[in-house]
Amino acid sequence: MMKTTLFALGIAVMSTTASAATPPCSPLLDVEVRRLAGQEVVNLCEAYRGKVVLIVNTASKCGFTSQYEGLEALYSKYKDQGLVVLGFPSNDFANQEPGNEEEIEKFCRLTYSVEFPMFEKVSVKKGAASPLFERLAVAGAPYPKWNFYKYLIDRDGNLVDHYVSFTKPDDRKIVKAIEKLL
């Protein structure tokens, strides 16, 4: 009996320790989204808890589309240190993402060798925005006014900053902010 009691106490202590080590889900990222061109649904908080997150609304036929290259370079350089870039295609601006999700995925992979996670095609405009972009707005960021707006989230799931389309992924202020959070 004594052995069973100690064993039970050991499990209780271990599970308390494990729970204490896992930060709670951030309301900002506690949202489910579907992977691009797939059926898998991902809770962003559970999947990327404890990571620095850069969220970007993307488009394949935009003057800023070449930023995919810079986003992939950021992801490749810093992913082992805890950065993840999350792409969300949107057709909200001038019909610059007209394709279906399979076409978008193929374009991203073949044209820009995108390996960072891409998710379902969403709306990002005020009044019709997906839950994630609504939460970003509630947290204090503006709704995107064009493609390739970037939102930086710290390891605790807090909005740190946002960057407009003209701010390239390799801009010193983005890189410096990411490095500070890592």
Say whether 108 is catalytic.
no
Distances (CA, A) of 142 to 37, 47, 62, 70, 162: 27, 25, 20, 22, 8
Q: Are strands 52-58 and 150-153 parallel, antiparallel or unpaired?
A: antiparallel
Sort strands 32-34 and 159-163 into parallel, antiparallel or unpaired. Answer: unpaired
Of the candidates 53, 36, 154, the one whose C-alpha atom is nearest the C-alpha of residue 102 is 36
What single-letter amino acid sits at 108? C
Q: Among residues 25, 45, 62, 108, which one is catalytic?
A: 62
Rounded CA-CA distance 55/152 in Å is 7
Q: Which residues are the active-site residues? A: 62
